[in-house]
Structures are given as C-alpha cells and as structure tokens.
C-alpha cells in the first residue's frame, strides 16, 4: 500500500508544477495600497486591471465611513452563531428584502460566501432522481456543486442552444424514468471570457421542456441592465429565472452573496442549505456595509455609467488595434494571444516591470494549450489616461511576442519545465 502523500509529492498538478517559478509574482502576487485604479506591486506603482471592484465602491469615502462605523458599533463577531440558532437580526432581514426587491423576486436569502453558497444551493435544489444540465464552461463553484449530486448530470457545449436542447431531450427521457425533475444552470456572465449566458434563448426552451433555471450572475449583478439588476434584466427575462444568485464580491466590493426566488423556494432553501445552517451568520458590519452599497447602486447611476465609459474605451481601443477580445458582452475584457506558458511569464513580467500594467494571466489548463489570456476588469475608478497607457503597452508587448523576444527570454524556464 502506498503512502497517501506519494501522489501529491510526485504530481503537484498542472498549475502547482510552476510554483517555484511563479509563486509570489504570477500567482499569489501581493498588491498593496488603497484599492483603486493604481496600486503598488513590489514597490512600484501599477495600473491595476485585476480587482473586481466594478463600481469603485471599495475605497469610496461614503462606504468607508459606514464600514468603520459599523465595525465600531458591532465589532467583528456580532452576531454569534448560525442564523437558525442565534445569528439572526432585523438588519439581515432588511438586506434580504431590499435585495429581493432590487432583482424583482419575491424573496431572498443571505449567503456567507458566493462559492460555498452556490455549491450548497445546487445540493439543496436537487435529489438523486433529478437531472442537472449545465454549461460546460461553468465556474468552479457550479462544477463542485454538481459533483455533490448523486443523480445524473449532463453538460452542454458553451452557450450552444442546440447542444442544450439535445441534452434536455436526454434529461427528459431520464427524468420520466426516475420520476425526478430537471435543473438547468448557466452563468449570467462567464467570468473568464466575458460572454453573457444565452439566458433569453434558454428560457424560451421552457415552452418545449419542463425544467427550472438557476443563474449565477456574479459578474452581471450591478453592471448589466437598466438598473444594474443583472443579465436577466439586460436580456428582459428576469421573471423567467427561477433561482437567481449573485455575490457581493464584485460590484458591491465586499464579502457575502445571496439567492433570490419565489418565497416558497427561499423558505425551503433557508432550512436546507447546509453551508448556512451549520455556519456562523454573516457578520453585522458586512450586512450594514452591503445595505449602504446596495443603496448607492440604486441611487447613483453615474457609477455604472462611468464604468461603461471605461469599458467601451478599453474594448473599442483594443479592437481598433486588432487585438482579439473574443465575444465579450460584459465588462470582463479578455485579450487572447498565442504563446506558451514560459512566453506568458516573460510577457507579463515585461508588462509589470517596464510598463506598470498589472493584469491577470490565464493559461492552460484553464484555457487550451498555446493560448495566453490576459483578463482585464475595468472599473469606475479607472481613467481614460489609464486606458491609453494600457493600449500603448499592449501594442509593445504584442510586437515582442510576435518577433520572438519572449521566446528567447523564456528559453531557460521552458527548458527547466520540459516545455
């Protein structure tokens, strides 16, 4: 019998194998200073395109004032205990009611974290007789939630309605045998590529198939739709989303999340969500802070307007220069380049050290081999000067990638890793 750790020591995984070259710089980097469009990285000022603070609320003076007062009033522990036992308050209920009204649902329930909340929501919604059909490019929290499912599940090709329909036909036949139901899951905005889920086309299939629809709108909430209520509002089908999920970690620049649905469904979930039933209640200063942030989202449309001014400037500037930004229909701005992982390392180092541009790098296995994805998150805090500096830098790094400069610079790393 082998030691359990033998496998771990021999194979650190597709990303872990790069730890000695990447950790502290390409992964687990340390951004310092006030959360804003420009921060410090290893002592140098950089334009920061890697912080999900869409509406610039993280360092907004009104937000900081409320956060500080809430911390002074309640501390960081109150309320103690799980919601069902001793951690329930009027302010938790108020936030839930305001969130439900904002996303046009009957009821809502707070979650401590987006990731664990989505995992637990999927687990609670289905039984072993039910069938899940979900987009193959779904976020890890959806994938992990589906993994808990003891019944059948099918993936459909990313944003491919024909593929979804074929899988719904399979799921329908199976559900007729098991006596179960069908849950379809999509993201409102796919966070890597920036594409909106084809929510309108998905709900249209309800005329043909009997299923319920769960949408993870982490990146759409606060950024899309006339009021900022998300991808469902943007596409005019919010009422047809059966269970709506969003996180505070993006537009609200905080910690926490929520689900919203018909009251009977929320009543069921709040008594069956294991991640909430057996976890401490969301701390009061986060609840008070979220109420303030939600109020600003409702009453300050200029925040979203400025965000989209920056988004449009960045995305149009990249397209005019011939960069491939895929099919994004959201604030998420991907830039696709061709190159190896070692070349990607050299390119990103050049961007950070010589051009003062900090953006996230995504490589295999998240995307196919031979591709480099530079993922950018424009925010309200950015300026048009930031955009122009970045476009100039991108022109330069593309030239160096094309002429082989990064390949030469990365030769030693490539050789060491057997690439």
pLDDT at residue 364, as a whole number = 77
Q: Are residues 213 and 254 in the same domain?
A: yes
- The separation between the first and the last C-alpha atoms of the chain, rounded to the nearest angstrom, is 33
Q: What is the pLDDT of residues 300-309, one digit of tens each?
A: 999 999 999 9
Contact between 262 and 240 under an 8 Å Cβ cutoff? The reply is no
Q: Are residues 295 and 305 in the same domain?
A: no
- Inter-CA distances, 130 with 182, 206, 211, 359, 376, Å: 6, 17, 10, 41, 38
Sign of the CA dihedral with 76 first, then 79, 85, and 88 last:
negative
Q: Single out the residue in 248, 281, 299 at which a domain terminates.
A: 299
Evaluate whether residue 408 is within a structural domain: yes
Q: Are residues 271 and 339 in the same domain?
A: no
Residue 258 in this model has a pLDDT that exceeds 70: yes
Q: What is the pLDDT of residues 107-130, one digit of tens each?
A: 999 999 999 999 999 999 999 999
From the centroid of its chain, how far is CA 327? 17
CATH number at residue 190: 3.40.640.10
Q: Are residues 137 and 102 in the same domain?
A: yes
E strand or H helix that includes residue 293: helix 284-299
**What mean pLDDT comes out for the span 292-313?**
97
- Inter-CA distances, 364 with 189, 349, 368, Å: 21, 18, 5
Contact between 296 and 66 under an 8 Å Cβ cutoff? The reply is no
pLDDT at residue 412, as a whole number = 63
Residue 6 in this model has a pLDDT that exceeds 70: yes
pLDDT at residue 14, as a whole number = 73
**Residue 17 — very low, low, confident or very high, per pLDDT cuts 50/70/90?**
confident
Could you give the CA distance from residue 230 to residue 67 in angstroms, rounded to a whole number?
25
DSSP structure class, residue 242 = S
Contact between 130 and 183 under an 8 Å Cβ cutoff? The reply is yes
Could you give the CA distance from residue 99 to residue 70 in angstroms, rounded to a whole number?
20
Q: Are residues 349 and 272 in the same domain?
A: no
Q: Which residue has the tokens 């491939």?
A: 324
**Residue 416 — very low, low, confident or very high, per pLDDT cuts 50/70/90?**
low
Evaluate whether residue 7 is within a structural domain: no
Q: Are residues 252 and 263 in the same domain?
A: yes
Q: Single out the residue in 240, 269, 299 at which a domain terminates.
A: 299
Q: What is the pLDDT of residues 357-407, one digit of tens each?
A: 999 888 877 778 889 999 999 999 999 999 999 999 999 999 999 999 998
Q: What is the pLDDT of residues 54-75, one digit of tens each?
A: 999 999 999 999 999 999 999 9
Q: Are residues 307 and 269 in the same domain?
A: no
CATH number at residue 37: 3.90.1150.10
pLDDT at residue 413, as a whole number = 60
Q: What is the DSSP secondary-structure string of 202-267?
A: HHHGGGTS--EEEEE-TTTTTTSSSSS--HHHHHT-GGG-SEEEEESSSTT-SS-EEEEE-HHHHH
**What mean pLDDT comes out for the span 262-274?**
96
Q: Are residues 276 and 312 in the same domain?
A: no
pLDDT at residue 24, as a whole number = 87
pLDDT at residue 365, as a whole number = 74
Cβ neighbors of 385 (< 8 A, separation 6 or more) are none
Q: Are residues 312 and 377 in the same domain?
A: yes
pLDDT at residue 414, as a whole number = 58
Average pLDDT of the chain to the nearest whole number: 94
For the chain, the domain total comes to 2
Q: Single out the residue in 270, 299, 328 at which a domain terminates.
A: 299
Q: What is the DSSP secondary-structure string of 19-45?
A: HHHHBTTTBS--EESSSSSEEEETTEE
Evaluate whether residue 55 is within a structural domain: no
- Inter-CA distances, 49 with 108, 194, 354, Å: 32, 14, 16
Q: Are residues 289 and 315 in the same domain?
A: no
Residue 101's domain comprises: 61-299
Q: Are residues 310 and 265 in the same domain?
A: no
């Amino acid at each position: 019998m082998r030691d359990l750790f033998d496998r771990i020591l021999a194979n650190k995984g597709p990303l872990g194998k790069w730890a000695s070259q990447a950790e502290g710089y390409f992964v687990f980097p340390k951004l310092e200073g006030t959360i804003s469009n420009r921060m410090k990285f290893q002592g140098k000022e950089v334009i920061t395109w890697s912080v999900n603070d869409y509406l610039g609320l993280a360092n907004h003076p009104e937000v900081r004032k409320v956060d500080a007062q809430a911390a002074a009033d309640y501390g960081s522990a109150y309320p103690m205990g799980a919601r069902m036992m001793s951690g329930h308050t009027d302010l938790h209920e108020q936030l839930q009611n305001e969130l439900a009204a904002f996303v046009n649902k009957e009821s809502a329930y707070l979650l401590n974290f987006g990731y664990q909340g989505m995992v637990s929501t999927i687990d609670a919604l289905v039984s072993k007789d039910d069938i899940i059909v979900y987009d193959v490019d779904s976020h890890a929290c959806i994938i992990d939630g589906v993994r808990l499912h003891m019944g059948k599940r099918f993936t459909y090709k990313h944003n491919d309605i024909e593929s979804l329909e074929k899988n719904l036909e399979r799921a329908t036949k199976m559900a007729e045998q098991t006596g179960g139901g069908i849950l379809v899951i999509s993201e409102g905005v796919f966070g890597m590529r920036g594409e909106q889920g084809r929510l309108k086309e998905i709900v249209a299939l309800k005329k043909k198939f009997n299923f319920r629809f769960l949408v993870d709108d982490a990146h759409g909430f606060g950024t899309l739709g006339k009021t900022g209520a998300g991808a469902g509002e943007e596409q005019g089908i919010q009422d047809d989303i059966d269970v709506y999920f969003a996180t505070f970690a993006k537009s609200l620049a905080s910690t926490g999340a929520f689900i919203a649905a018909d009251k009977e469904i929320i009543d069921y979930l709040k008594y069956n969500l294991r991640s909430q039933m057996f976890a401490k209640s969301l701390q009061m200063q986060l609840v008070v802070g979220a109420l303030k942030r939600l109020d600003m989202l409702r009453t300050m449309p200029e925040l979203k307007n400025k965000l989209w001014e920056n988004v449009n400037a960045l995305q149009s500037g990249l397209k005019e220069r011939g960069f491939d930004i895929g099919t994004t229909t959201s604030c998420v701005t991907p830039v696709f380049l061709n190159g190896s992982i070692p070349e990607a390392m050299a390119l990103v180092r050049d961007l950070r050290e010589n051009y003062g541009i900090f953006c996230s790098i995504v490589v295999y296995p998240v995307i196919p081999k031979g591709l480099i994805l530079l993922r950018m998150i424009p925010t309200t805090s950015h300026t048009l000067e930031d955009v122009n500096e970045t476009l100039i830098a991108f022109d330069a790094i593309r030239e160096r990638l094309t002429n082989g400069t990064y390949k030469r610079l990365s030769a030693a790393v490539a050789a060491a890793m057997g690439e």
